């Protein structure tokens, strides 16, 4: 059994690089750890068969849109058997900090969503009340207009009947004068 210690530099922190290394190392059946270093590099310590360690070393050179390995310094030594499995070492409370930030952002998002929902509910209630008020106002206005039209029709009818009677009277007088 051998040990591989590798120092990987490039764009390898806050990119998901350690999670990829963890998966690869476990797929090869290796034991050890992957850890962020304060200088921006990632340290990989793995123990296992020489062929598997060589495969891991080759697989550490990841280049994609997020991860960009620039350099890998590696050394081999005798394995110690100190590890039970392959793990991602978390130092300096980084996961706790990320979880705290995520929890804080999620809390803010929930508060904002609740405010928006309350505003939507209030607006909906206001619109419903306004709709009801408008319907009531429209119904009252319609009833008032219909009533006024009926009164105008009655007045117009009475006025027309009065005029018709006068016209008939005038026509009768004209006929009488002309002797018809």
Residue 76 φ/ψ, nearest 5 degrees = -110, 150
Catalytic residue list contains 36: yes
Rounded Cα gap, residues 176 and 70, in angstroms: 125
Alpha helix positions (H), 36-93: 50-59
Catalytic-labelled residue, pool 3, 20, 26, 36: 36
Question: Rounded to 5 degrees, what angle do the CA atoms 176, 179, 180 make?
Answer: 90
Q: Is residue 18 annotated as part of the catalytic site, yes or no?
A: yes
- Strand 2-11 and strand 42-48: pairing? antiparallel
Say if strands 31-36 and 86-89 run parallel, antiparallel, or are unpaired. parallel
Cα 142 to Cα 146, 153, 155, distances in angstroms: 6, 16, 20
Structure tokens of 18? 């350690």
Distance between CA atoms of residues 8 and 57, nearest Å: 10
Please give the positions annotated as active site: 18, 36
């Amino acid at each position: 059994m051998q040990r591989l210690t590798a120092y990987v530099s490039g764009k390898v922190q806050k990119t998901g690089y350690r999670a990829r290394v963890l998966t690869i190392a476990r797929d090869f059946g290796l034991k050890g750890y992957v850890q962020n270093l304060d200088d921006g590099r990632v340290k990989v310590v793995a123990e296992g068969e020489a062929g598997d360690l060589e495969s891991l070393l080759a697989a550490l050179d990841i280049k994609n849109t997020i991860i960009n390995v620039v350099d890998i310094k590696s050394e081999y030594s005798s394995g110690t058997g100190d590890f039970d499995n392959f793990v991602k070492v978390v130092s300096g409370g980084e996961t706790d900090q990320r979880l705290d930030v995520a929890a804080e952002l999620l809390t803010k998002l929930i508060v904002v969503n609740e405010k928006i929902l309350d505003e939507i509910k209030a607006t909906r209630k206001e619109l419903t009340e306004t709709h009801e008020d408008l319907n009531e106002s429209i119904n009252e206005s319609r009833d008032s207009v219909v009533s006024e039209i009926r009164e105008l029709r009655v007045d117009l009818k009475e006025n027309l009947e009065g005029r018709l009677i006068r016209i008939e009277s005038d026509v009768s007088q004209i006929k009488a004068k002309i002797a018809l």
